[in-house]
Structure 1
Protein backbone atom coordinates (compact mmCIF):
# COMPACT_ATOMS: atom_id res chain seq x y z
CA UNK A 1 0.00 0.00 0.00
CA UNK A 2 1.51 3.32 -1.10
CA UNK A 3 0.55 6.37 0.97
CA UNK A 4 1.02 9.79 -0.59
CA UNK A 5 0.77 12.84 1.66
CA UNK A 6 0.54 16.39 0.34
CA UNK A 7 -0.04 19.81 1.80
CA UNK A 8 -3.28 21.51 0.71
CA UNK A 9 -2.65 25.04 2.02
CA UNK A 10 -5.92 26.38 0.58
CA UNK A 11 -7.76 23.88 2.80
CA UNK A 12 -5.28 24.32 5.71
CA UNK A 13 -4.58 20.62 5.95
CA UNK A 14 -2.38 17.75 4.90
CA UNK A 15 -4.14 15.08 2.88
CA UNK A 16 -3.25 11.40 2.56
CA UNK A 17 -4.22 9.25 -0.38
CA UNK A 18 -3.63 5.54 -0.76
CA UNK A 19 -2.56 3.84 -3.98
CA UNK A 20 -3.36 6.86 -6.15
CA UNK A 21 -7.04 7.00 -5.18
CA UNK A 22 -8.74 10.38 -5.49
CA UNK A 23 -10.50 10.03 -2.13
CA UNK A 24 -8.67 11.21 0.99
CA UNK A 25 -7.70 8.36 3.31
CA UNK A 26 -6.93 10.88 6.04
CA UNK A 27 -6.37 14.53 6.85
CA UNK A 28 -4.42 16.59 9.37
CA UNK A 29 -5.85 20.10 9.81
CA UNK A 30 -3.60 22.95 10.89
CA UNK A 31 -3.33 26.63 11.64
CA UNK A 32 -0.12 28.18 10.38
CA UNK A 33 1.70 31.42 11.10
CA UNK A 34 5.13 32.47 9.81
CA UNK A 35 6.77 30.95 12.92
CA UNK A 36 4.38 28.22 14.09
CA UNK A 37 2.16 25.41 12.85
CA UNK A 38 -0.56 24.11 15.16
CA UNK A 39 -2.01 20.71 14.36
CA UNK A 40 -5.62 20.85 15.53
CA UNK A 41 -7.36 17.76 14.15
CA UNK A 42 -6.41 14.48 12.50
CA UNK A 43 -8.87 12.09 10.94
CA UNK A 44 -8.33 8.76 9.17
CA UNK A 45 -11.13 7.03 7.30
CA UNK A 46 -12.38 3.82 8.96
CA UNK A 47 -11.21 1.70 6.01
CA UNK A 48 -7.64 2.97 6.52
CA UNK A 49 -7.31 2.85 10.31
CA UNK A 50 -4.33 0.87 11.57
CA UNK A 51 -2.61 0.94 8.16
CA UNK A 52 -0.08 3.73 8.78
CA UNK A 53 -2.04 6.61 7.27
CA UNK A 54 -1.97 8.70 10.46
CA UNK A 55 1.74 8.08 10.91
CA UNK A 56 2.42 9.07 7.30
CA UNK A 57 0.47 12.30 7.83
CA UNK A 58 2.38 13.12 11.02
CA UNK A 59 5.82 12.27 9.67
CA UNK A 60 5.36 14.24 6.43
CA UNK A 61 3.83 17.27 8.16
CA UNK A 62 6.52 17.34 10.85
CA UNK A 63 9.35 16.85 8.35
CA UNK A 64 8.01 19.79 6.36
CA UNK A 65 7.67 21.87 9.54
CA UNK A 66 11.32 21.14 10.33
CA UNK A 67 12.41 22.07 6.81
CA UNK A 68 10.49 25.37 7.08
CA UNK A 69 11.98 26.02 10.55
CA UNK A 70 8.52 26.13 12.16
CA UNK A 71 7.77 25.38 15.80
CA UNK A 72 4.97 22.86 16.34
CA UNK A 73 1.98 23.12 18.64
CA UNK A 74 0.30 19.72 18.87
CA UNK A 75 -3.19 20.44 20.20
CA UNK A 76 -4.50 17.40 18.33
CA UNK A 77 -4.28 14.33 20.61
CA UNK A 78 -3.07 12.15 17.74
CA UNK A 79 -0.13 14.46 16.92
CA UNK A 80 0.71 14.94 20.61
CA UNK A 81 0.79 11.18 21.16
CA UNK A 82 2.74 10.51 17.97
CA UNK A 83 5.41 13.04 18.88
CA UNK A 84 5.62 11.61 22.42
CA UNK A 85 6.39 8.18 20.88
CA UNK A 86 8.97 9.61 18.44
CA UNK A 87 11.58 11.54 20.44
CA UNK A 88 13.43 12.66 17.31
CA UNK A 89 10.53 15.08 16.66
CA UNK A 90 10.19 16.51 20.19
CA UNK A 91 12.65 19.32 19.46
CA UNK A 92 10.02 20.84 17.16
CA UNK A 93 7.54 21.44 19.97
CA UNK A 94 6.68 25.01 20.79
CA UNK A 95 7.83 26.16 24.22
CA UNK A 96 6.20 29.25 25.70
CA UNK A 97 8.75 31.98 26.38
CA UNK A 98 6.66 33.64 29.06
CA UNK A 99 7.23 32.66 32.67
CA UNK A 100 4.57 32.79 35.31
CA UNK A 101 5.61 34.56 38.49
CA UNK A 102 4.51 33.42 41.93
Structure 2
Protein backbone atom coordinates (compact mmCIF):
# COMPACT_ATOMS: atom_id res chain seq x y z
CA UNK A 1 0.00 0.00 0.00
CA UNK A 2 1.25 3.46 -0.83
CA UNK A 3 0.70 6.36 1.54
CA UNK A 4 0.91 10.07 0.94
CA UNK A 5 0.41 12.96 3.34
CA UNK A 6 -0.67 16.34 2.03
CA UNK A 7 -1.16 19.69 3.68
CA UNK A 8 -4.55 20.90 2.45
CA UNK A 9 -4.17 24.56 3.39
CA UNK A 10 -7.61 25.47 2.01
CA UNK A 11 -9.26 23.18 4.58
CA UNK A 12 -6.53 23.70 7.22
CA UNK A 13 -5.74 20.05 7.62
CA UNK A 14 -3.13 17.45 6.89
CA UNK A 15 -4.59 14.51 4.99
CA UNK A 16 -3.31 10.96 4.67
CA UNK A 17 -4.06 9.02 1.51
CA UNK A 18 -3.72 5.25 1.22
CA UNK A 19 -3.59 3.99 -2.35
CA UNK A 20 -5.05 7.32 -3.50
CA UNK A 21 -8.01 7.25 -1.08
CA UNK A 22 -8.24 9.67 1.83
CA UNK A 23 -7.91 7.66 5.04
CA UNK A 24 -7.88 10.47 7.59
CA UNK A 25 -6.91 13.99 8.49
CA UNK A 26 -5.56 16.22 11.24
CA UNK A 27 -7.31 19.60 11.41
CA UNK A 28 -5.39 22.64 12.57
CA UNK A 29 -5.65 26.38 13.05
CA UNK A 30 -2.59 28.55 12.64
CA UNK A 31 -1.77 31.55 14.79
CA UNK A 32 1.20 33.84 14.34
CA UNK A 33 3.56 31.48 16.16
CA UNK A 34 1.75 28.16 16.74
CA UNK A 35 -0.27 25.55 14.92
CA UNK A 36 -3.16 24.33 17.06
CA UNK A 37 -4.14 20.75 16.25
CA UNK A 38 -7.84 20.56 17.02
CA UNK A 39 -9.02 17.20 15.65
CA UNK A 40 -7.56 14.04 14.17
CA UNK A 41 -9.78 11.50 12.44
CA UNK A 42 -8.93 8.18 10.81
CA UNK A 43 -11.68 6.44 8.84
CA UNK A 44 -12.79 3.12 10.42
CA UNK A 45 -11.38 0.85 7.66
CA UNK A 46 -7.92 2.34 8.31
CA UNK A 47 -7.93 2.39 12.12
CA UNK A 48 -5.35 0.36 14.03
CA UNK A 49 -2.86 0.24 11.16
CA UNK A 50 -0.51 3.04 12.21
CA UNK A 51 -1.89 5.69 9.89
CA UNK A 52 -2.65 8.14 12.71
CA UNK A 53 0.97 7.92 13.86
CA UNK A 54 2.26 8.52 10.33
CA UNK A 55 -0.12 11.44 9.86
CA UNK A 56 0.70 13.16 13.15
CA UNK A 57 4.44 12.63 12.79
CA UNK A 58 4.41 14.14 9.31
CA UNK A 59 2.19 17.04 10.42
CA UNK A 60 4.47 17.85 13.34
CA UNK A 61 7.60 17.61 11.18
CA UNK A 62 6.03 20.00 8.68
CA UNK A 63 5.00 22.31 11.53
CA UNK A 64 8.59 22.32 12.78
CA UNK A 65 9.85 23.05 9.26
CA UNK A 66 7.37 25.94 9.08
CA UNK A 67 9.01 27.26 12.28
CA UNK A 68 5.76 27.07 14.25
CA UNK A 69 5.12 25.72 17.72
CA UNK A 70 2.49 23.05 18.29
CA UNK A 71 -0.61 23.20 20.45
CA UNK A 72 -1.80 19.59 20.80
CA UNK A 73 -5.44 20.27 21.64
CA UNK A 74 -6.62 17.00 20.12
CA UNK A 75 -6.10 13.82 22.11
CA UNK A 76 -4.25 11.99 19.31
CA UNK A 77 -1.61 14.69 18.83
CA UNK A 78 -1.32 15.22 22.58
CA UNK A 79 -0.67 11.50 23.16
CA UNK A 80 1.85 11.39 20.31
CA UNK A 81 3.85 14.25 21.86
CA UNK A 82 3.51 12.85 25.36
CA UNK A 83 5.07 9.54 24.28
CA UNK A 84 7.77 11.07 22.08
CA UNK A 85 9.74 13.63 24.10
CA UNK A 86 11.66 14.83 21.05
CA UNK A 87 8.50 16.73 20.02
CA UNK A 88 7.83 18.27 23.45
CA UNK A 89 10.05 21.29 22.71
CA UNK A 90 7.53 22.31 20.03
CA UNK A 91 4.87 22.95 22.70
CA UNK A 92 5.29 26.36 24.38
CA UNK A 93 5.96 26.19 28.12
CA UNK A 94 2.78 28.12 28.91
CA UNK A 95 0.69 25.44 27.17
CA UNK A 96 2.28 22.30 28.63
CA UNK A 97 0.59 22.44 32.02
CA UNK A 98 -2.78 23.20 30.42
CA UNK A 99 -2.39 20.16 28.16
CA UNK A 100 -1.07 17.84 30.89
CA UNK A 101 2.38 17.59 29.34
CA UNK A 102 5.69 17.60 31.22
CA UNK A 103 7.52 20.87 31.63
- TM category (shorter chain) comes to 0.7 to 0.9
Query: Within the alignment, does 1:5 sit opposite 2:5 as a pair?
Result: yes
Stretches of structure 1 that go unaligned for 5 or more consecutive residues are 98-102
Aligned length: 95
**Cα offset for 1:88?**
1.2
The higher radius of gyration belongs to 1
Give per-residue Cα distances to partners, 1:46-102, cap 9 Å, x unaligned. 0000111101110111001111111100000010001111111111112229xxxxx
TM-score using structure 2 length: 0.86
CA distance in 1, matches of 2:32, 2:11: 17
1:37 — aligned with what?
35
CA distance in 2, matches of 1:5, 1:31: 18
Give per-residue Cα distances to partners, 1:6-51, cap 9 Å, x unaligned. 1001001011100223xx1001000002311000000000000011
Moved over 4 A (4+): none
Query: Within the alignment, does 1:48 sit opposite 2:46 as a pair?
Result: yes
Does structure 2 retain, via aligned residues, the 8 Å contact 1:27–1:42?
A: yes
Does structure 2 retain, via aligned residues, the 8 Å contact 1:25–1:44?
A: yes
2:25 — aligned with what?
27
